Amino acid sequence: LVAAAGRAVRVAAFSVTRRGAQPSYPTAADLAE
């Protein structure tokens, strides 16, 4: 559970970094990576 939460945080942070000012919610594509 902790690992899954940590991965979700990393995915969300990666999404923010990649999309810049776009909303910071993870998409299905992000979760698939």
Specify the pLDDT at position 29: 62
Specify the pLDDT at position 27: 62
Q: Are 13 and 4 in contact (CB under 8 A)?
A: no
Tokens in use for 27? 């998409």
d(CA 26, CA 28): 7
Q: What is the tens place of the pLDDT at every residue in 1-33?
A: 788 887 887 777 666 655 555 555 666 666 665
Tokens in use for 33? 């990576």
* Burial annotation 1-33 (CB, 10 A radius, 16+ → b, else e): eeeeeeeeeebeeebeeeeeeeeeebeeebeee
> Distance of alpha carbon 5 from its chain centroid, rounded?
11
